[in-house]
Amino acid sequence: MTQDTGPDDGGDPERGGEVRPVTGDAPQVLSGAEAPAVRHLVSIDDVSIEEMHALFRLADRFASDPRAFADTCPGFISASLFYEPSTRTRLSFESAMLRLGGGVLTAAEMTSSSVVKGESLADTIRVVGGGYADAIVLRHPSEGAARLAARYSPVPVINAGDGSLEHPTQTLCDLYNLHVERGKIEGLDVVLAGDLKYSRTVHSFAYALARFGANIVCVPQAGLELPDYVVERLHEEFQVEPMRADARRLGNLASNSDAVYLTPQKPHQLSLFTDARGWEVQSVDAVYMTRPQTERHSGSELTDTTYLRLEKRAMAAESLRDAVVMHPLPRRDEISDEVDADPRSIYFKQAARGVPIRMAILSWLLGRVPLESAGEPHGQQASYGVPMGPNPCPNPSCISRTETRHAEPRFTILEREPLRVACAYCTRELSHAVIGCSRSRIFHAPEAGTIRLILPEHLVFFEDEEAALGAGFRPAASLAGH
């Protein structure tokens, strides 16, 4: 059910537009090389709303007495395969597994290992998942790495961050915190503040909030607004309406920001859209601060000193009276020390709750605790191998580009007419000037209606006509005239 290329969010907006999945497509399983019938957690979209609620209930149970569940996974082993360091995330997972009574294998610096002997990710996953461990927690710098790993793994793969693509357990942790602090997520007003452009956790969080029916108030650092493609996906996929917001009641927090209000389309809200000032932010349930993703900024975009900073006086705003302050951590200076003692500051609790929610995820995927409710995952899609030719994915950070072995190019279909496809790993939309059929060896212009008749598994992508001709393809009649 989860061995497919779910509609992943975000990524680096500098590197080109991201894509939204075609909803309504019949879910179709991407059958991996060994086609195991296991659930993975590659994208937050792999989990249905109902499952998330069940995970929250399970996490509540674990949180009530973290040391009382050491008999949940006896003899089970999780392996932390970290191709880039992330101690906090690793320790959180390992703590969860130990609390469940399981064992932990740690490979904290995979790059110094057999990678140098030239082993592919797929082979490593097959070996570790083949008998060493019962679950794999994977951190990898390439986008789509977890999706690739899931294709080959006989045991559950949990994505602990793959490049700038997904970090679903962080998102689940954030949602779980809202659930605990507010008792629900639907209808909450959540401020997203700071770097809304580059932070992958914020994009994933925004999609998830929209799925749950929460409202989002964007208070971006100037120049680091939520990218258009994220807003578009929110609109098209979750029927979220962006509105100009009157953020005066947010006080200091929003003083330098053009706030935007993102809300599920509801009649009573649309009526307010006529107000010239925009929707008035009344009372906020949560403020989600993010650190500047300086490693992705060009130097000119931001200097540390000018970044948004949540201070005591900002917290005095009337609209924030009941708001909890969240932060995915690590923080730098974007939250002042003096806010730490404020009872509304829950960021350390938020991090601590990463353990029970990961206990819930692990015990669920390991089949040790059945979820009470299944529901429908979001946007499951079929994927298809590219039968010939070069890898059409244009994303240099995609795992299909960084891996030289056992990472066959695959794609998902976004729209059939005109044909739009995306890389099945990194979800980047593919660009192609010419489309061929591997059976007929005929190629077409992308807008040609006949393309609809080609079976997906026969689609071939060429950069230009010359490449198609060079591969021995003939132009379609419609092109022959050129």
Known catalytic residue: 235?
no
Site string for a second copy, 335-364 (x = CB under 8 A): --x--xx------xx-xxxxxx--------
Do the strands 410-416 and 419-423 form a parallel or antiparallel pair, or are they unpaired?
antiparallel
The nearest distance, CB 320 to a second copy, in angstroms, is: 22
64 contacts: CB under 8 Å, gap ≥ 6: none
Cβ neighbours around 26 below 10 Å, total: 7
Which helix (H) or strand (E) covers residue 444, if one does? strand 442-444
- What's the DSSP call for residue 429? B
How many positions of this chain bind a second copy (CB under 8 A)? 65
The nearest distance, CB 104 to a second copy, in angstroms, is: 8
Q: Is 247 in the site for a second copy (CB under 8 A)?
A: no
Q: Is 388 in the site for a second copy (CB under 8 A)?
A: no
Q: Which residue, among 429, 451, 427, has the nearest Cα to 440 in the 3D structure?
A: 451
The nearest distance, CB 263 to a second copy, in angstroms, is: 33
Q: Which residue, among 383, 389, 387, has the nearest Cα to 463 in the 3D structure?
A: 389
Instruction: By CB under 8 A, name the one of 24, 75, 183, 481 that touches a second copy.
Output: 75
Q: Is 405 in the site for a second copy (CB under 8 A)?
A: yes
Known catalytic residue: 294?
no
The nearest distance, CB 149 to a second copy, in angstroms, is: 14
- Tell me which of 23, 88, 321, 405 is the catalytic residue: 88
The nearest distance, CB 115 to a second copy, in angstroms, is: 9
Known catalytic residue: 277?
no
**Residue 93 or 462: which CB sits closer to a second copy?**
93
Q: Is 196 in the site for a second copy (CB under 8 A)?
A: no
From its phi and psi, is residue 340 left (phi > 0), alpha (psi between -120 and 50) or beta? alpha
Instruction: Say whether 437 sits in a helix, a strand or coil.
Output: strand
**Residue 273 or 348: which CB sits closer to a second copy?**
348
Give one DSSP letter per residue of 32-78, joined into a string.
-SS------BSSGGGS-HHHHHHHHHHHHHHHH-GGG-TTSSTT-EE
Q: Is 94 in the site for a second copy (CB under 8 A)?
A: yes
Percentages of the chain per state (helix, strand, coil), in multiples of 5: 35, 20, 45
Are residues 459 and 452 in contact, defined by beta-carbon separation less than 8 angstroms? no
Q: Is 158 in the site for a second copy (CB under 8 A)?
A: no
Q: Which residue, among 44, 43, 48, 77, has the nearest Cα to 146 in the 3D structure?
A: 43
Instruction: By CB under 8 A, name the one of 2, 48, 92, 221 that touches a second copy.
Output: 92
Known catalytic residue: 117?
yes
Return d(Cα 336, Cα 170) in angstroms, integer: 23
**Residue 81 or 315: which CB sits closer to a second copy?**
81
Q: How many Å is the Cα radius of gyration of the chain?
A: 23
Q: Is 132 in the site for a second copy (CB under 8 A)?
A: yes
- Tell me which of 20, 53, 139, 428 is the catalytic residue: 139
Long-range contacts of 298-307, Cβ-Cβ distance < 8 Å, separation of 24 or more: 301/223, 301/224, 302/221, 302/223, 302/224, 304/332, 304/333, 307/194, 307/195, 307/221, 307/333, 307/334
- Span of 21-29, 267-275, 334-342, 390-398 interacting with a second copy by CB under 8 A: 334-342
- Tell me which of 126, 167, 291, 444 is the catalytic residue: 167
Q: What is the 3-state secondary structure (H, E, C) of 94-116?
A: HHHHHHCCCEEEEECCHHHCHHH
Q: Is 439 in the site for a second copy (CB under 8 A)?
A: no
Return d(Cα 70, Cα 53) in angstroms, integer: 23
Site string for a second copy, 278-317 (x = CB under 8 A): -------------x--------------------------
Instruction: By CB under 8 A, name the one of 16, 50, 86, 248 that touches a second copy.
Output: 86
**Residue 107 or 469: which CB sits closer to a second copy?**
107
The nearest distance, CB 326 to a second copy, in angstroms, is: 14
- Tell me which of 89, 124, 171, 402 is the catalytic residue: 89
Q: Which residue, among 249, 253, 246, has the nearest Cα to 334 in the 3D structure?
A: 253
Positions in the binding site for a second copy (CB under 8 A): 33, 66-70, 74-77, 79, 85-88, 91-92, 94-95, 98-99, 101, 103-110, 112-114, 117-119, 123-124, 126-128, 130-134, 291, 329-333, 337, 340-341, 348-349, 351-356, 405-406
- The set of catalytic residues is 88-89, 117, 139, 167
